[in-house]
Amino acid sequence: MLDAAEAIMLEDGYAAVTSRRVEAETGLKVHYHFGTIDDLFVAVVNRRGEVNLALMADALASTEPLRAWWRLASDPRGSRLLVEITAAANHRPALQSEVASFAREVRRMQVQALERMLSEYGIDADEFPPALVATAMQGLAFAMTYDQASGFDTAQDEVASGMERFLDRLEAQRSGD
Amino acid sequence: MLDAAEAIMLEDGYAAVTSRRVEAETGLKVHYHFGTIDDLFVAVVNRRGEVNLALMADALASTEPLRAWWRLASDPRGSRLLVEITAAANHRPALQSEVASFAREVRRMQVQALERMLSEYGIDADEFPPALVATAMQGLAFAMTYDQASGFDTAQDEVASGMERFLDRLEAQRSGD
DNA sequence: AGTAAGTTAGAGCGATCGTTCTAACTTAGG
DNA sequence: CCTAAGTTAGAACGATCGCTCTAACTTACT
Our CA-based measurement puts residue A115 at a distance from the nearest CA of chain B, in whole angstroms, of: 14
Contact assessment for residue B66 and residue B121, using Cβ atoms and an 8 Å cutoff: yes
CA dist., res. A128 & res. A154, Å (int)? 27
- Contact positions of strand C to protein Cβ (< 7 A): 7-10, 16-21
Q: What is the pLDDT of residues B11-70, one digit of tens each?
A: 988 999 999 999 999 999 999 999 999 999 999 999 999 999 999 999 999 999 999 999
Which residues of chain A, if any, have pLDDT below 50? none
Q: What is the pLDDT of residues B72-106, one digit of tens each?
A: 999 999 999 998 999 899 888 889 999 999 999 99
Give the type of residue at A105. Answer: E
pLDDT at A177: 62
Give the type of residue at A140. Answer: L
Is this structure's pTM higher than 0.85? yes
Q: What is the pLDDT of residues A72-110, one digit of tens each?
A: 999 999 999 998 999 899 888 889 999 999 999 999 999
pLDDT at A90: 84
Q: Which residue of A has its CA nearest to B107?
A: A154
Say whether A119 sits in a helix, a strand or coil: helix
Of B12, B103, B111, the CB nearest to A147: B103
Cross-chain Cβ contact B104/A150 below 8 Å: no
Pick from A53, A85, A164, A114: nearest CA to B158: A114
Q: What is the pLDDT of residues B121-169, one digit of tens each?
A: 999 999 999 999 999 999 999 999 999 988 888 889 999 999 999 999 9
